[in-house]
Structure 1
Amino acid sequence: MNLENKSSQIEFTTASQTLKYGFFWFIAFFFAILAFLFNSPEEILEGQIVILLSPSNLVTDYFAISNVGATLFNSAILTAHSILIIKMSKARINGAVIAGVLTVAAFSFFGKNLYNSTPIVLGAFAYAWSTKAPAEHSLLAALFGTALGPLVSEISFNIGLSLLSGIFYGYLAGFIAGFIIPPLAHHIVKFTKGFSVYNIGFTCGVIGTLFVSIIRSTGREVEPVSLLSSGHNEPFIIIFLVLFSIMMITGLHFNHWTLKGYGELLQHSGQLSTDFLDLNGFSITLINMSLLGYLSLGYVLFHGGELNGPVIGGILTVVGFGAFGKHIRNVIPILIGVTLMGYLNNYDMSLTGVVTAGLFGTTIAPIAGRYGVVIGMLAGAFHLSIVSNTDTLHGGINLYNNGFSGGFVAAIMIPILEAFHYHKEKRKELREPVDPADEMKGES
């Protein structure tokens, strides 16, 4: 009987992994097919060349420097690349891996490409090889670490080196960055205590600041840019509604057309590492991802934002982390906090930088999940203030600037909140009546 149960469990796990791979391939083919609806093969090829040769630092909207079809195809390529990396590392697909793949797909709209991602991936796996650790231990560093892709592109094409020297030093810098991400990320999570789900984003911010400081010390400038597009709302509203509806229908289908279990998912704070796949199953996780997609799209449209490369990247990232820490209960307070702070300071809430601060600012959603709506709103407000000033530190070569900022928000707020919580508990103990029986035991 035990053997039968074990056999059926193995069959279920295998089927589940196949289903998750199917989800990834669906995303890749979905974007690849869409690419040819926007542009011809010749235009896509020309756009791809432009993307590969771009410095790509924040904020370089690939819609603006190439075309929509080339950008969608770039995302499809990097999604497929991520799938192959997962297979090669023989890792099990869990919530963190889903978040990683969709984050790669997201940032392929504004900063990541096959050229600048490759050395970072190689560096992350070289670390695993050199420490004799399984390759799967460096998988998340390889996926999320591609946030430093602009470091490779910037050195290769934008600081005045010859082409061969630029490629050599760009790839060397990318390889070194990828190599040191895994050990640094392991220790930096203690800094934020898991209350910023973009842990590697903060790690990449630290590494990016180091590299940019070295480059600037040679007299060269590395600064953020602002290359943005507009006018794509109508087609991408339809695309996203179709995509999120397919996810919702699929999730409901596998969950027997009910939302049973979703209430349990909403009870999690989201603090690292909260893997919804392991805790709640693939069907409920897919429903959660879909709902976050609708919410994120609604947030952008409510503020009159443009669905350009960075904003689309923000929406897809929120959706990806719907498998790993984010849900509507802990995300909404952050969005409200960013919105209130924006209106309080008379920000133009339709600006891409402000809209993406809200979307990517949900990295600190676990703060709302643990400490409630009001504290979550306060965290969101702080995040908008901080994120406006951190990109100059790393010169835009860390694509996860909000992860960098969110790490600071968590590192500042959590010790204070924990201290108040501790004293609140102590005061509660002092107010509790003493049991006479316990008092007599103490005297004896």
Structure 2
Amino acid sequence: MQQQEKHTISSERELSEHSKYGLLIGFALFMGGIGFLFNTPQEIWEGNVTILTSPANLLTDYMALTSVGATLVNVSLMTLQSLWIVRMADAKINGPVIAGILTIAGFAFFGKNLFNSIPISIGAFAYAKVTHAPIHKSLLAALFGTALAPLVSELSFNLGIAQPYGILLGIAAGFISGFSIPPLANHFVTFTRGFSLYNVGFTCGIIGTVFISLIRNFGYGIENVNILASGYNRPFIIILSILFSVMLLLGLWLNRWTFHGLNRILRHSGQLSTDYLELGGLGATLINMGFLGFMALGYILLMGGEINGPVLGGIFTVIGFGAFGKNIKNVLPILIGVTLMGRINYHDSQSTLVLISALFGTTLAPLAGRYGTAAGILAGAMHLTLVMNIGYLHGGVNLYNNGFSGGLVAAILVPILEALHLHRTNQRALRGAVNPADEVEVDSGK
């Protein structure tokens, strides 16, 4: 069976590492190029200056803060920066790396920029240098750790600290955060047992809570904001549909116009760390990502929501993790659970907060993959309950607020579900047919 699976994966058309980099660079240039269809170069330049020098805590939609064009160029720049970091670490383009790059691209719509992300990445690589670890060991921390980017911007521009001391303090906080993430993330993955895909998000929630507590102790206050764009559904439906269609077609072409490998992806729970490129091949992974993209977009439109910065961040994160743990089978129960709880609690199902809780709540997809649809629905419902109340702890400086909440949900549910799962297994064993050989031995004993 294993030989047959290896043969199936090897039968797809292969892309070199250079070609994979080229595809991601093409994506970055595509997003940046589209920006100039919305705004003039002058507007884009001024908008990017505003993005670099503004607070960025949740929820700061750069499309509402500046312009669509400036935001798309920021997405392009952040994607290119991520690729440069991967190249510097001499790492291959695999599932976790694709997830990291597309997550950064998504959060470049609301919260991440070149200024507030670089100190964190430097801190993560500094940890590798100090501990004499290979630099690629800190790569995912350098990518996903930029969840704390708003901490840098808050200290730099929003607390009224005189310059240049505010900027220096923000950079220092970012560096310390980045330095702390690798060892803490390695430790906390045992807390969630890999059933929350945003493990670094949980880690950043802990670090962000510590920093915000210190800031509040010194008499400074940080309030969550709600700056959101509206009225851009039509153009982004077109843009996203083009991107997802390209993923599907490219995946099918690589797979020689078959769905080979997709079943292996769908059968896997998605528990960390599951690289779908190794499990099913690049072609099947791209097909899975394309399907997830259309599912996420369809969900937003079905709920009647607005496609704004945070929603786009959620969609890109979903498709990014389509290479690293999420598939159309284990994601759906989470979406259902969040939606049902939203209706029970009389939350507006069209609100951005509920929509992004559903999209980012798919961090718990491995729970549905491992324990079934009912467990996934329960996890989604619990996630919405927690995520609506947990942002105060870190003051919105952890962009992966859903990763923080998802980690807690996984830590609570997994031991219970595992105990029930073991109990059911034992019960099935007890109800199993008696071995005929045992019956003979008993009879002969009489």
TM-score bucket (shorter structure): over 0.9
User: Which whole-Å CA distance do the structure 2 matches of 1:121 and 1:261 have between them?
Assistant: 34
State the AA in 2 paired with 1:22.
G
Task: Structure 2 unaligned segments of length 5 or more: list them.
Answer: 1-8
- Deviation of 1:263 after TM superposition, in Å, equals 1.8
1:215 partnered with 2:215: yes
User: Which whole-Å CA distance do the structure 1 matches of 2:214 and 2:248 have between them?
Assistant: 47
Matches within 5 A, 1:272-351: 272-351=272-351
- Deviations along 1:143-178, whole A, 9 cap, x unmatched? 000000000000001112112100111110000000
- Deviation of 1:229 after TM superposition, in Å, equals 0.9
User: Which whole-Å CA distance do the structure 2 matches of 1:257 and 1:379 have between them?
Assistant: 36
User: Which whole-Å CA distance do the structure 1 matches of 2:318 and 2:436 have between them?
Assistant: 53
**Maintained 8 Å contact 2:261/2:279:** no
- Deviation of 1:265 after TM superposition, in Å, equals 1.4
Indicate the residue corresponding to 1:401 in structure 2: 401
Residue identity (%): 59
State the AA in 2 paired with 1:101.
I
Matches within 5 A, 1:224-235: 224-235=224-235
User: Which whole-Å CA distance do the structure 1 matches of 2:65 and 2:95 have between them?
Assistant: 33
User: Which whole-Å CA distance do the structure 2 matches of 1:89 and 1:410 have between them?
Assistant: 31
Indicate the residue corresponding to 2:138 in structure 1: 138
Q: Closer, same or farther in 2 for the Cα pair 1:13/1:299, shift >3 Å?
A: closer
State the AA in 1 paired with 2:411.
A
- Deviation of 1:426 after TM superposition, in Å, equals 2.2
SS of corresponding position for 2:389: coil
1:177 partnered with 2:174: no
Matches within 5 A, 1:376-415: 376-415=376-415
Indicate the residue corresponding to 1:248 in structure 2: 248
State the AA in 1 paired with 2:369.
G
Q: Closer, same or farther in 2 for the Cα pair 1:433/1:154, shift >3 Å?
A: same
- Deviation of 1:357 after TM superposition, in Å, equals 0.5
SS of corresponding position for 1:163: coil
User: Which whole-Å CA distance do the structure 2 matches of 1:439 and 1:394 have between them?
Assistant: 63
CA RMSD of aligned residues (A): 1.9
State the AA in 1 paired with 2:46.
E
Q: Closer, same or farther in 2 for the Cα pair 1:181/1:360, shift >3 Å?
A: same
- Deviation of 1:97 after TM superposition, in Å, equals 0.2
- Deviation of 1:276 after TM superposition, in Å, equals 0.3
Matches within 5 A, 1:88-107: 88-107=88-107
SS of corresponding position for 1:56: coil
**Maintained 8 Å contact 2:116/2:150:** yes
Indicate the residue corresponding to 1:33 in structure 2: 33
User: Which whole-Å CA distance do the structure 2 matches of 1:378 and 1:301 have between them?
Assistant: 23
More deviation, 258-267/203-212? 258-267
User: Which whole-Å CA distance do the structure 2 matches of 1:248 and 1:51 have between them?
Assistant: 33
State the AA in 1 paired with 2:213.
S
User: Which whole-Å CA distance do the structure 1 matches of 2:57 and 2:213 have between them?
Assistant: 15
State the AA in 1 paired with 2:229.
S
- Deviation of 1:261 after TM superposition, in Å, equals 2.3
Indicate the residue corresponding to 1:373 in structure 2: 373
Task: Structure 1 unaligned segments of length 5 or more: list them.
Answer: 1-8
Q: Give the TM-score normalised by structure 2.
A: 0.94
User: Which whole-Å CA distance do the structure 2 matches of 1:432 and 1:290 have between them?
Assistant: 43
State the AA in 2 paired with 1:196.
S
SS of corresponding position for 1:34: helix
State the AA in 2 paired with 1:255.
N
- Deviation of 1:66 after TM superposition, in Å, equals 0.6
- Deviations along 1:305-326, whole A, 9 cap, x unmatched? 1111000110000000000000
- Deviations along 1:211-260, whole A, 9 cap, x unmatched? 00011000100121111110110100000011111111111111111222
State the AA in 1 paired with 2:382.
F
State the AA in 2 paired with 1:45.
W
1:115 partnered with 2:138: no
Q: Give the TM-score normalised by structure 1.
A: 0.95
User: Which whole-Å CA distance do the structure 2 matches of 1:195 and 1:406 have between them?
Assistant: 9
SS of corresponding position for 1:360: helix
